[in-house]
A and B are shown apart, each in its own frame.
Chain A
Amino acid sequence: MSASYLELRGIRKMFGDSTVLNDVDLSIHEGELVTLLGPSGCGKSTLLRCIAGLTEPDGGSIMMGPTNIGELPPRRREVGMVFQSYALFPNLTVYENIEYGLKMRGADKKERQSRCEELLALVDLENKKEAYPQQLSGGQQQRVALARSLAVQPKVLLLDEPLSALDAKIRKSLRTEIRDIQKRLKMTTIFVTHDQEEALTVSDRICIMNNGNIVQDGSPEELYAKPRTEFVARFMGSYNVLSREEAGRLFGVAGGSAASYALRPESVRLLPASAGEARGDRRVADGTIESISVLGNIVRYSVVSSGVKLTVDALNDGQSHRGDEGATVVLELDPSQLLALEKEGA
């Protein structure tokens, strides 16, 4: 990958007294799909709108290559954007919607036609080109919105929670489709979402945002395996977050000096009460199952051990039933899976 393609430096935005973006730095490589992930109100959409030029930041610079696009009006920034509500033009057909940007840029008719046909094929809507947006399903509208923003060959594509208005099934297939198209076109893309599963499946890199800061960024694997703070641990999965004292009780003496620790629910093994010896350097602890919920391919147990409530995930393989609610079990804990967390904001 080449040097950074889009470079954000010290982006700051206040709405009234509240800081929405707190000196955010972000650099994105060409062809990369970066996800801004965070709870609502963390500033991720505002950051996206700053890049598009729809919101003016109070400070900072946005460089695309050698150009400071922060000084340009939205239409000169060469960024495409897909909105959460799609914002298709209701008075125009699918074809005319896709053609709109090309028309505004003064492309001739022949060029417009070939480009539109190409995009209709890309999003698989050739048979709907004469339809009006309100005659399409949500998923189809979203694909038109995608085709429309790609038509003008933007340098960066911005997707603002593009799938949140769709039902679960379409959301899953469409996110794979978006990822495929992005890879095929090598389109530099920023994807905003609050759904960690979505972020994990589509991204090259994820930036987790909280309170107007990027608190951690890295590849999906990295973020999932090594959350740095409690916020990231809680947001990325159903991590057990233990205080130092709790970790001490479960694992004997806790090493290190961190204030809190994270423990992945799938790293704990549940054994029937009769099982005795721990393997290798692992520890065993007694516990009681409080509740069981089946989440499809995994079963999630809530277990209390030494006064600490733990979430334990086990593969739902149909043969290893670990006991009913109220049953006593043995927990096998691996100290090497215990992750020390940094203090928030550190």
Chain B
Amino acid sequence: MIKSRAGWSHRALMLLLMVYLLLPLAATLLYGFAKQWQTTVLPESWTFEWFSEMFRDLRFLEALWTSLYLCAISVALSLAVMLPAVFVITVYLPKWETFMKGIVVLPYAVPGVVAAVGLIRAYSGGPIDIAGTAYILIGAYFIVVLPYMYQGIRNSLITVSAVELLHSAELLGASRKRAFVTVILPNIWPGVIISTLLSFSVLFGEFVLTNMLVGGHIQTIQVYLYRRVGESGHLASAIAITYFLFILALSTVLMKLGKKMNGVAEK
């Protein structure tokens, strides 16, 4: 109903905005399929060459795989550490919350380049010599997603009034561990899943830290894309589009899952 009442000026504005946002993407898509595109508005001839070359390139698939598992490991690690930590802080040590809030905004406050240089200096040599390895990247990724994980888990706990649920369960005879598993976890799970997927998307798109920390040693999809931009614009376009579609698919799953989870909660 509201839709049909929107005036033509609103629609025109929306359309303009959509065109402005989608045009570069459409152009990239076309460029990825173009064979000849010099003096005309649209390409003169078409080809699948770039896409097939990309998929024939083992390094592309390898880079995609590397990114996937590095992000997955980092997010899983973050989940394993943050879920119990945030739970304990929110429920039993609320005094620490101020401290945590400060810590959690630090990744925003420090620019990626500065963080990367600092990390490389700190971890090349000395007792922990891990510069240029996957370990330093996973460590950095852990920090990058800290704000998302902390806020997501904390908000879920507060939304379901975790403290009171826990007290109720304890008074009904549940041990703390059992109360956590039977009452807290099922209720915060939807929120936790969303934070996890969000963190994953953020890491999958992260470039500055990745390139500076391990660019020379480990080919993630971001690093791979950066390398090949110089070789051929067409190929880079094909990679960018594939990469975009991948993120799109991930986001869709995330949103669908979010809706479904809310649906369950409202059932």
Contacts and interface: CB of A to CB of B under 8 A. Distances in A.
Interface residues of B, number: 21
B173 A105 contact: yes
Nearest to A154: B171
Contacts, number: 65
Looking at A83, A91, A101, which has the most chain B CB atoms within 10 Å of its CB?
Answer: A91
Interface in A144-203: 148-149, 152
A104 interface: yes
B171 A85 contact: no
B165 interface: yes
B169 interface: yes
Contact of B186 (A80, A91, A149): A91
Contact of A90 (B160, B172, B173, B175): B160
B167 interface: yes
A89 B165 contact: yes
Interface in A96-123: 100-101, 104-105
Contacts of B171: 52-54, 74-75, 77, 79-81, 149
Interface in B220-266: 265-266
Contacts of A248: none
Interface string B172-201: 111100100011001100000000000000
Interface centre among A54, A87, A88, A149 (most CB of B within 10 A): A87
Given A89-B187, A90-B187, A91-B183, A149 B164 contact: no
Contact of B178 (A89, A104, A149): A104
Interface of A: 52-54, 73-75, 77, 79-81, 83, 85, 87-91, 100-101, 104-105, 132, 134, 148-149, 152
Given A52-B171, A89-B168, A104-B169, 12 more contacts: A53-B171, A73-B170, A74-B167, A85-B164, A87-B167, A89-B169, A90-B187, A132-B267, A134-B265, A134-B266, A148-B172, A152-B172
